[in-house]
């Protein structure tokens, strides 16, 4: 039994992924004996409908001066955040003289850079010092701090109230969601907009993309669970927008209750969640069976390819791949190496399964027969970039929504 972080109701886990390492902890051989593992189980609270990990490693084990996720690695994500910023400017800030925008989890500044010019004032709150430094070097205002009620108080004292609070792929990382929302409530100017996006529970269920669950992703949000959590602090959902990023995300727009009109889309999307079964415990039992199928099918395929003498290389050492590889028990015996563009990951080994991570250039002129695409959320960009691989007869292996080879 576990207690829901949002409403304190007791619930049972619906899946046990077994011991999991820190998803972004790409490590050297000398650190193997000291590697940190936690027990990764996920559950559904039938009372407030939040899907959550039962246990999460401490925040400073995950976010620190050696954090390996740099947002700027994808060109398409940079375009995506430009559009996010334009949406906020046009639809929520156009009537303000000098709007103040706060972003948490601002990382290397991929979104904030769109608010760098007047009339906007901006502030990033980012606890991982190395990525925050990249933003600071671009001339962006970014403080190295975890966002919470105390940080919100400091911000208000130093800069005043915020007209927009933004976050992307960050809110679902923070187990103390109530403390964050209290911080937001303290921070916002009357009628200010709160807009954040995270991987969407509905898409995870539709695609059996269980790899969205890893140490950092303590929650998988839905409109139902977000409404319930924010309602406790006087906020209401005013709009929501399904997104294609990260394999299927949702952007939530909230404001103090009664301050802004509520889009009819909110009701529609809430109904879609009901139709999809997101409020029913059975849905999560069915989901578990789907996870087991993917786990077993992929392992079987890789063993067969190995037996047939084929080479398989992993493409992009994503955080998500840590869940897949550890859950399925796929190691360097089945995958030669993982190719990745992030310098900090190269020359290291993948968390838990210890598959070598090598520079993307290693692949050029040295394609294997198969590439297993971990970064399926960047499929379009990657297939275009690696067009030569398929032309030379190489085949992509996909595992979402099921295990298949792209012929
Ligand atoms: N927004 C970026 C980065 C997402 S990664 C993008 O979408 O690409 C999540 C980021 O949240 C990390 O950089 C991590 O350091 C940061 N983070 C984690 N906990 C936080 C907290 N309590 N307050 C602010 N940022 C946090
Ligand atoms: P994520 O955004 O799904 O977490 O994955 C990001 C990782 O994927 C990061 O380590 C960089 C890597 N990557 C590549 O290696 N090649 C690529 O073309 C892209 C887009 C990402
Ligand atoms: Zn609950």
- Inter-residue contact 288 to 310 (CB < 8 Å): no
Q: How many other CB atoms are found less than 10 A from the CB of residue 347?
A: 12
pLDDT of res. 69: 82
H/E stretch holding 159 reads helix 149-159
Peptide bond into 83 cis (omega under 30): no
| Residues 389 and 367: beta-carbon distance below 8 Å | yes
Closest ligand 2 atom, CA of 382? 18
At residue 70, the pLDDT reads 84
pLDDT in tens, 300-318: 999 999 999 999 999 999 9
Q: If you write DSSP's letter for every residue of 222-276 in order, what string do you get?
A: -HHHHHHHHHTTTEEEEEEEEE-GGGSEEEEEEEETTSSPPPHHHHHHHHHHHHH
84 Cβ below 6 A of ligand 1? no
Per-chain mean pLDDT for the chain = 96
pLDDT of 320 over the 80 cut: yes
Q: What is the mean predicted confidence (pLDDT) over 345-363?
A: 97
Q: What pLDDT score was predicted for residue 268?
A: 98
Ligand 1 centre distance from Cα of residue 131 (Å): 10
pLDDT over 90, % of the chain: 93
What mean pLDDT is predicted for residues 27-42? 97
pLDDT in tens, 232-273: 999 999 999 999 999 999 999 999 999 999 999 999 999 999
202 has a pLDDT exceeding 80: yes
Q: pLDDT higher for 1 or 3?
A: 3
Ligand 2 centroid–CA 319 distance in Å is 9
Distant-in-sequence, close-in-space partners of 279: CB < 8 Å, separation ≥ 6: 46, 49, 224, 273
First to last CA, the chain: 45
* Candidate of 170, 246, 318 to mutate for ligand 2, largest count of ligand atoms within 8 Å of Cβ: 318
Nearest-10 Cα torsion for 52, 56, 60, 63 = -50
* Omega before 40 within 30 of 0, i.e. cis: no
> What's the pLDDT at 73?
76
The pLDDT value recorded for residue 43 is: 98
Token match 């430094």: residue? 133
Q: Is the pLDDT at 67 greater than 90, yes or no?
A: no
Contact 390, 396 (CB under 8 A): yes
Greater model confidence, 70 or 336: 336
407 — pLDDT class (breaks 50, 70, 90): confident
- Look at residues 399, 370, 398, 396 and name the one whose alpha carbon lies nearest to residue 312: 370
Mean pLDDT calculated for residue range 130-155: 97
């Amino acid at each position: 039994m576990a207690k829901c972080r949002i409403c304190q109701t007791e619930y049972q886990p619906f899946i046990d992924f077994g011991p999991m390492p820190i998803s972004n902890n790409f490590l050297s051989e000398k650190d193997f004996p000291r590697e940190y593992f936690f027990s990764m189980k996920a559950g559904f609270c039938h009372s407030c409908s939040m899907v959550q990990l039962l246990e999460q490693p401490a925040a400073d084990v995950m976010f620190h001066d050696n954090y390996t996720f740099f947002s700027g690695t994808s060109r398409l994500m940079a375009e995506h955040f430009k559009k996010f910023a334009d949406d906020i400017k046009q639809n929520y800030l156009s009537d303000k003289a000098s709007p103040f925008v706060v972003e948490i989890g601002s990382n290397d500044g991929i979104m904030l850079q769109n608010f760098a010019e007047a009339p906007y004032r901006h502030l990033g709150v980012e606890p991982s010092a190395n990525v925050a430094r990249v933003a600071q070097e671009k001339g962006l205002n970014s403080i190295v701090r975890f966002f919470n009620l105390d940080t919100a108080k400091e911000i208000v004292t130093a800069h005043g109230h915020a007209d927009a609070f933004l976050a992307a792929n960050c809110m679902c990382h923070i187990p103390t969601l109530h403390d964050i929302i209290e911080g937001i409530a303290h921070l916002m100017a009357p009628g200010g907009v709160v807009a954040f996006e995270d991987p969407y529970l509905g898409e995870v269920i539709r695609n059996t993309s269980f790899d969205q669950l890893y140490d950092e992703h303590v929650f998988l949000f839905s409109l139902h669970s977000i409404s319930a959590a924010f309602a406790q602090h006087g906020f209401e959902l005013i709009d929501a927008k399904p997104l294609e990023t990260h394999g299927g995300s949702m952007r939530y727009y909230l404001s103090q209750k009664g301050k802004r009109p509520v889009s009819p889309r909110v009701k529609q999307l809430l109904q879609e969640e009901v139709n999809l079964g997101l409020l029913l415990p059975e849905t999560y039992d069915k989901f578990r069976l789907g996870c087991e199928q993917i786990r077993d099918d992929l392992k079987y395929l890789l063993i067969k390819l190995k037996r047939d003498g084929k080479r398989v290389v992993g493409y992009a050492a994503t955080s998500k791949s840590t869940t897949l590889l550890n859950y399925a028990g796929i190691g360097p015996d089945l995958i030669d190496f993982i190719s990745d563009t992030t310098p900090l990951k190269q020359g290291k080994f993948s968390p838990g399964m210890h598959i070598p991570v090598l520079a993307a250039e290693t692949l050029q002129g040295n394609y294997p027969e198969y590439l297993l695409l971990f970064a399926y959320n960047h499929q379009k960009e990657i297939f275009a970039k690696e067009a030569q691989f398929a032309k030379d007869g190489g085949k992509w292996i996909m595992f979402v929504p099921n295990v298949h080879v792209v012929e």
